[in-house]
Amino acid sequence: MQIAPPGLKGLAVADTMLGSVRGQEGFFHYRQYDAAELARTRSLEDVWTLQIQGALPPEVPSLRPARLRILPEAVIELLDECARWVADPTIALRIGMLALGDHEGRGPLLDRSAEQIHGDAMRLAAVVPTILARHYRLRQGLQPVEPDPDIGHAADYFRMVTGVPAAAPAERAVEQYLVATLDHGFNASTFTSRVVASTGADMAGSLVAAVGALSGPLHGGAPSRSMQMIDEIGDPSAAAAWTRDRLDAGEKIMGFGHAVYRAEDPRGVVLREAAERIGGDLVGRAAGIEQEILAVLAQWRPDQRIVTNVEYWAGVVLELVGLPREMFTPTFSVSRSIGWAAHVIEQHGEGKIMRPSARYVGPAPSLGRGDAK
């Protein structure tokens, strides 16, 4: 039996044409395109088309998810009732996606045609912002905002959460965030979606499993924690001492360090640029705090290069545009659900269940009816 390294680090478990991360270079790509450049120059719908259809517009017609954001009345009734007793928006998202999949008869992948599976992928990813925004507003005692099929996905998400249209710089910043985080190699949630898809399960089940993985703070929960850290530090002059105290206590510094990147995280670069275009005092403070923390981390681990990861500047951008902090992690699922859906489609095409082994390290088992030997 071959023994995989802890966390499967460095182990390739599948082939993919959807993209990859080259951490030593600080580079990642969607199919054959530089993903950071796509975030700078393309719309979310364009990149959505690339990952599902395999090419960018105008080579193929652009996907139009706008009308797919509208929920059926039966699912709305369930979500509205759910908002009375479920506080966590990612739990509401899981309930809503499963309910929609069941209500619309989106059965196991094994029983669906390729065209139906693509339809399932589009429909379920499209409703993510609608479910999240509706749940948030109901929990705040606000009237839900219905989707507008005449505007883009990023703009409509912002409008449904906040109740007001986004100004152009904020809308573009949200869209860049969504493009930059749409996919990122075989991360924990993407791998989870593919494991479930390999069983022939339905699209909703595969995506909901991925949301469960995303709910862990070590995966998608750092943007709000990074902002809490910036608030706690306050002035950049206090950052070095604050960081040393946390390191001495054995705590993690949220927004810094990455499992793959040893060069600067290109997603963070894109989002820093987006933050600088919006401007304001927070941007200057965040940049100063970042420099101080990186300097301390370089002294703490001189043999490693610990870099700023995407969550640090993602938190700043989402704060600047006015999204509530409790929606930072859920917002990540708005984009990543598109990437998960593309991976589910690809994994289903493999036609083989993922079934690794485990190495038993417990007490010796009994042999038959006698004692262990």
pLDDT tens profile 217-274 = 777 666 888 999 999 999 999 999 999 999 999 998 988 987 787 778 899 999 999 9
- At 17 the pLDDT is 97
What are the structure tokens assigned to 348, written together? 């289903």
Q: How confident is the model at residue 10 (pLDDT cuts 50, 70, 90)?
A: confident
Look at 373 and 181; give whichever has higher pLDDT: 181
Residue 2 pLDDT level (bands cut at 50, 70, 90) = confident
Q: Taking 70 as the threshold, does the pLDDT of residue 290 lie above it?
A: yes
362 phi-psi bin (left φ>0, alpha ψ -120 to 50, beta other): beta
Given a contact cutoff of 8 angstroms between Cβ atoms, the answer to whether 274 and 170 are in contact is: no
**Active-site position among 311, 319, 343, 348:** 311
- Alpha carbons 95 and 98: distance in angstroms, whole number: 5
Report the distance separating Cα 247 and Cα 260, nearest Å: 21
Q: Give the architecture (CATH level 2) of 19-217+324-350.
A: Orthogonal Bundle (1.10)
Please check whether residue 218 is in contact with residue 7, taking contact to mean a CB–CB distance below 8 angstroms.
no
CATH 1.10.230.10 range(s) for the chain read 222-321
CATH topology of domain 222-321: Cytochrome p450-Terp; domain 2 (1.10.230)
Count of C-beta atoms within a 10 Å radius of residue 256: 22
Residue 258 is a catalytic residue: yes
Distance CA 202, CA 234 (A): 47
> What residue ranges of the chain are covered by domains with CATH 1.10.580.10?
19-217+324-350
- Catalytic one among 258, 290, 292, 343? 258
Alpha-carbon span 331 to 318, nearest angstrom: 9
Other CB atoms within a 10 A radius of the CB of residue 7 amount to 9
Are 239 and 295 in contact by the 8 Å Cβ rule? The answer is no
Verify whether residue 135 is a known catalytic residue: no
pLDDT tens digits, residue range 114-167? 999 999 999 999 999 999 999 999 999 999 999 999 999 999 999 999 999 999
What is the value of pTM for the model shown?
A: 0.93
Q: DSSP secondary-structure letter at 22?
A: E
